[in-house]
Amino acid sequence: MKGIILHGGHGTRLRPLTHTGPKQLLPIANKPMSQYCVESLKEAGITEIALIVGGAGASKVQEYYGNGEKFGVKLTYIFQDQPRGIAHAVGLCNDFVRDEKFIVFLGDNILKKNIRDYIIDFEKSDSSATLLLCDVDNPTRFGIADVKDGKIVKIMEKPKNPPSNLAVTGIYFLTPSIFDVITRLKPSWRDELEITDALEMLLEEHHKITYHKVTDYWKDTGTPEDIIHANEVILKDMKPYFHGKKEEGTVMSGNIMIDENTVISTGAKIVGPVIIGKNCTIGSDSYIGPNTSIGDNSKLSKCDIEDSIIMSNCTIDCNIKIRKSIISHNSEIVYKRENSDNKIFLLGEGSKISL
C-alpha cells in the first residue's frame, strides 16, 4: 500500500498562525502535526508517501521534509493549484497510486493508535473503502456516517441535523475505484469536491464500505483549542529525558523533556508535562507549568506559562501569566509593568508585543 498526506488548505480558523505557512507545520509537542501522520504510516510499514501541497506554504513543506530520507520514507510531492476539496486532492494521485490500495491522511489529524491492524484488515477485505469513525460532541462540524445494524447507510458533510455523532475521521482506506467516482463529482456549495460526496456515491453504486470505530485518541486540529488539547495529550504520554543543564536551586517535577544545550537557571520552576527544545534559556523566577511546549532557541525569563505552545526563536520577558496560548516563531513579548492578570495570546510569526 501507498500513503497520501494532504498538506494544503488555507487554515482560516487558525489565523494569524497560518499567515506565513501551512497549518500542518504548526508544532504539537515540538513536532509538526503532519509529522505524526508520516510516522504513523511508517510505523505501519508504508514508506512510499505522496504529500499534496499547494500555495505559498509548499516550499516550507519541501524544505522541512525533503525527500523523506531523514524520516525513513520516500516522499513524492503532488501540487494542487488551489484548495478544491479533499476529493480533488485525492484525484490528483491516480498516477501515484496506480492499481494499489492506499490510505489517505489529512495532515492535521492526530491519531494515537497504531494503524497497522487497520491496514492488514483492509488488505484482506473486498471493501472499496474503509473508514475510521469516532464519536464527537459536535457532529455538525464533521462529515457524519449514519450506521444501521453495523453497516454504513449514508455519509454526509456537516449536516445541520446529524443522524448520528459518528464523525468520519480524516483517515481513509481506499481502492482505485474512488478515482472514477471523483471524475463524476460535482462541486459542493463550497465549490469543492467533497470526499464525503465521493464516498456516498460509492454507497449508492453498491460498493462495500466498512468501518472501524476509533476509541483511542483522535483529534482534527482545526482550531487553536484543538491544537492545545492535542499538545496536552501527547505530552502526557512522552517518555521523559534530560539532555540540558540544570543549575542549583531549580525545581523540576512531573514528566519533563529537555533537549540539548538548554539551561534551566537557578530559581526556575518546571512542572510537567513540559517539553523544551534545544538551545533554550529558562531564566530565574520563571515558572513553566503543565501542558507546555517550548521550541528551540527560545529565551524565557520572569514568565508564568501553562497550557501553551511557544514555538522556536521566541523571547518572553514578562511577569504576566500566559495561559492557553499559541505564540508563533520569532515572536517577542516584553512586559514592563507589574501585573499578574492572566493573558491569552494567539500570535503569528514575528509578532512583537511590548506591554
pLDDT digits (tens, 9 = 90+) for 293-311: 999 999 999 889 999 999 9
pLDDT above 60 for 108: yes
Average pLDDT over residues 104-116: 90
pLDDT above 70 for 99: yes
Position 285 confidence tier, pLDDT thresholds 50, 70, 90 = confident
Whether 230 and 260 map to the same domain: the answer is: no
pLDDT digits (tens, 9 = 90+) for 116-157: 999 999 999 999 999 999 998 888 888 899 999 889 999 988
Q: Which three cell numbers stand for residue 185?
A: 463529482
Using DSSP's 3-state secondary structure scheme, residue 296 falls into: coil
**Residue among 317, 276, 316 at smallest CA distance from 296:** 276
Whether 218 and 309 map to the same domain: the answer is: no
Strand 27-28 with 31-32, pairing: antiparallel
Distance of CA 239 to the CA centre of its chain: 20
Percent of the chain with pLDDT over 90: 64
20 versus 49: the higher-pLDDT residue is 49
**Residue among 321, 315, 326, 319 at smallest CA distance from 353:** 315
Give the domain extent around 302.
Answer: 241-354
Q: Give the chain's mean pLDDT.
A: 89
User: Is the separation of the CB atoms in 154 and 133 below 8 Å?
Assistant: no
Whether 182 and 252 map to the same domain: the answer is: no
Whether 154 and 39 map to the same domain: the answer is: yes
Average pLDDT over residues 77-89: 89
> Which of these three, 234, 254, 281, is where a domain ends?
234
Whether 132 and 227 map to the same domain: the answer is: yes
- pLDDT number for residue 220: 81
- pLDDT number for residue 129: 95
**Residue among 274, 277, 278, 252 at smallest CA distance from 265:** 252
Q: Where residue 309 sits, what CATH number does that domain have?
A: 2.160.10.10
Whether 177 and 256 map to the same domain: the answer is: no
- pLDDT number for residue 216: 84
- pLDDT number for residue 286: 92
Whether 224 and 264 map to the same domain: the answer is: no
User: Is the separation of the CB atoms in 99 and 176 below 8 Å?
Assistant: yes
Whether 157 and 254 map to the same domain: the answer is: no
Whether 87 and 223 map to the same domain: the answer is: yes
- pLDDT number for residue 246: 92
- pLDDT number for residue 84: 86
Position 191 confidence tier, pLDDT thresholds 50, 70, 90 = confident
Average pLDDT over residues 67-76: 96
pLDDT digits (tens, 9 = 90+) for 307-354: 999 999 999 988 888 899 998 888 888 876 555 566 666 666 665 555
Whether 315 and 213 map to the same domain: the answer is: no
pTM of this prediction?
Answer: 0.89
156 versus 14: the higher-pLDDT residue is 156
Strand ranges in 266-308 using DSSP code E only, listed in sequence order = 269-271, 274-276, 281-282, 287-288, 292-294, 299-301, 304-306
Q: Where residue 117 sits, what CATH number does that domain have?
A: 3.90.550.10
**Residue among 232, 233, 227, 294 at smallest CA distance from 258:** 294
Whether 223 and 254 map to the same domain: the answer is: no
In the chain, how many domains are there? 2
Asked which of 73-87, 178-192, 295-309, 323-337 is least confident by mean pLDDT, the reply is 323-337
Average pLDDT over residues 261-285: 95
Whether 78 and 173 map to the same domain: the answer is: yes
- pLDDT number for residue 338: 56
Average pLDDT over residues 213-231: 88
- pLDDT number for residue 215: 85
H helical segments located in 158-313: 177-183, 195-204, 224-237
> Which of these three, 234, 262, 293, is where a domain ends?
234
- pLDDT number for residue 320: 82
Percent of the chain with pLDDT over 70: 90
Asked which of 17-31, 188-202, 332-346 is least confident by mean pLDDT, the reply is 332-346
- pLDDT number for residue 282: 95
